[in-house]
């Protein structure tokens, strides 16, 4: 089979479209013929060597995708050949075939396309736990969202609105600012401006937002400045670099909360994966959650997709087609 691989760490140029052995199916496993694969910034980190990778090269990135069950192994009772499935946490997905434990697969309803599943599962489930678990957003909450034009940010903006919150989204350009507003944010700010003051002014009483979702990292201290006393900062990414250490005395003096976020803490059982995914599907069906058309690349042109993602020019999902 073909797969998008890399044998050394570096820029997009290290990616190669290679013939590799087809993965074997063992007990409790399912082999899926992939129809669409989600590209995420974590794949860039893996390619660069920022994340620890198991095994030996050639390495295969990718954790999110959708396809058709081709073969089931002994002991598999939940799936059969021909079933449509998606996943958010199955490694080595940048390939024509992937093998997954049956617990990691999510049955796809007929009205959810492969493109939709590969566009929504990882980023959608991330946005979902952020606003429903890390901090339970409800009516009356003022919410600051970093990188609001990005994949998680755009979905999180919509979900906060579904739950009754008000959003001020931050982004890096005037073009993206318009995209943030069109996506349903109540206000949008630019990183080059005094966004801390804007976020405070946006809050109903001028005291600051109730929660700030920070995926940039280097902005963490400013996120605390934009957050009211007794507010919360949710830290879940470092796209702009590592944050400065947080002074626990500041947390004590202001009664503010810092919490981290990681999707794998919540996708712990098959039941949880299916329950959370089907809530996303329900929001899509109802029209409450809208997905922009993804940017589509052939898997063999994966290096170009990586370049586009790293250019920061994209405002929606990028998917790869084997």
Q: Between 41-48 and 302-310, two packed helices, what is the crossing angle to 10 degrees?
A: 110
> Which pLDDT belongs to residue 261?
86
Q: DSSP letters along 35-92, please? A: EEEEE-HHHHHHHHT-S---S-SSEE---EEEEEEEEE-TT--S--TT-EEEESS-S-
Q: How far apart are CA 144 and CA 160, in angstroms?
A: 10
Tell me which of 1.10.150.120, 3.90.180.10, 2.30.110.10, 3.40.50.300 is the CATH number of domain 2-121+264-321. Answer: 3.90.180.10
CATH number of 139-260: 3.40.50.720
The string of pLDDT tens digits covering residues 49-101 is 888 787 888 999 999 999 999 999 999 999 999 999 999 999 999 999 999 99
User: What is the CB-side half-sphere exposure of residue 2 using CA atoms within 13 A?
Assistant: 12
Domain ranges of the chain: 2-121+264-321, 139-260
User: pLDDT means per 10 residues in the chain (322 residues)?
Assistant: 96 96 96 97 89 85 97 96 97 97 97 97 97 97 95 95 98 92 96 95 97 96 98 92 92 97 93 97 96 94 95 82 97
Query: E strand or H helix at 295, and its extent?
Result: strand 295-298
> Which pLDDT belongs to residue 315?
66
The structure's pTM equals 0.93
The string of pLDDT tens digits covering residues 96-133 is 999 999 999 999 999 999 999 999 999 999 999 999 99
> Which pLDDT belongs to residue 51?
81
Q: Which long-range contacts (CB under 8 A, 24 or more apart) does 135-141 make?
A: 135/210, 135/211, 135/232, 135/234, 135/259, 137/163, 137/164, 137/165, 137/211, 138/163, 138/164, 138/165, 139/163, 139/164, 139/165, 140/164, 140/165, 141/165, 141/166, 141/210, 141/211
Sign of CA dihedral 123, 15, 67, 75: negative
Does residue 112 contact residue 285 with C-beta atoms inside 8 Å? no
Residues near 79 by beta carbon (within 8 Å), at least 6 away in sequence = 30, 69, 72, 85, 102, 105, 107
């Amino acid at each position: 089979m073909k797969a998008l691989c890399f044998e050394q760490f570096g820029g997009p140029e290290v990616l190669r479209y290679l013939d590799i052995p087809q993965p074997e199916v063992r007990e409790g496993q399912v082999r899926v013929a992939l129809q669409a694969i989600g590209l995420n910034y974590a794949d860039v980190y893996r390619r660069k060597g920022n994340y620890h990778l198991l095994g030996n090269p050639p390495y295969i990135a990718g954790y999110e995708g959708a396809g058709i069950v081709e073969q089931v192994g002994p002991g598999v009772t939940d799936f059969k050949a021909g079933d449509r499935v998606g996943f958010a946490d199955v490694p080595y997905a940048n390939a024509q075939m992937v093998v997954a434990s049956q617990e990691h697969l999510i049955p796809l309803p007929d009205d959810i396309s492969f493109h939709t599943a590969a566009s929504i599962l990882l980023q959608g489930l991330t946005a979902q736990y952020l606003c429903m678990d890390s901090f339970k957003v409800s009516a009356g909450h003022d919410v600051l969202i970093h990188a609001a034009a990005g994949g998680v940010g755009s979905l999180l903006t919509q979900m906060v609105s579904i739950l009754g919150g008000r959003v001020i989204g931050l982004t890096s350009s005037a073009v993206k600012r318009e995209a943030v507003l069109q996506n349903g944010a109540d206000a949008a700010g630019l990183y080059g401006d005094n966004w801390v003051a804007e976020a405070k002014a946006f809050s109903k009483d001028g005291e600051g937002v109730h929660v700030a979702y920070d995926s940039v990292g280097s902005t963490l201290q400013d996120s605390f400045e934009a957050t009211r006393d007794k507010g919360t900062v949710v830290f879940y990414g470092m796209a702009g670099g590592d944050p400065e250490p947080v002074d626990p005395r500041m947390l004590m003096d202001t009664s503010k909360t810092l919490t981290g976020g990681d999707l794998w803490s919540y996708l712990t059982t098959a039941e949880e994966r299916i329950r959370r995914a089907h809530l996303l599907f329900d929001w899509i069906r109802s029209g409450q959650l809208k997905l922009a058309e993804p940017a589509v690349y052939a898997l063999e042109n994966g290096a170009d997709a990586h370049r586009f993602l790293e250019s920061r020019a994209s405002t929606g999902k990028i998917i790869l087609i084997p």
